[in-house]
Amino acid sequence: MCSQTPNGANASATLYSIIESAKANGLVPYDYLLHVMNQITAGNTDPEKLLPWNVNLS
């Protein structure tokens, strides 16, 4: 196990899940994460709109 603490393990599992969900929906994980961060920075924080299956990056 690579995590030092249970909280670290939970954070890693969450990030892995987000990345795999992006890939399962045909998205490049880096591009998806960049899109989400840009949207949040711009004030667009509706979680439903930021889910991988609701994002179209093309």
| pLDDT digits 0-9 by tens, 8-49 | 999 999 999 999 999 999 999 999 999 999 999 999 999 999
The pLDDT value given to residue 1 = 56
Contact 25, 53 (CB under 8 A): yes
pTM equals: 0.85
Burial profile 17-55: b = 16 or more Cβ within 10 angstroms, e = fewer: ebbeebeeeebeeeebeebbeeeeeeeeeeeeebebeeb
- Per-residue model confidence (pLDDT) at position 2: 77
Q: How far apart are CA 40 and CA 10, in angstroms?
A: 22
pLDDT greater than 90 at residue 3: no
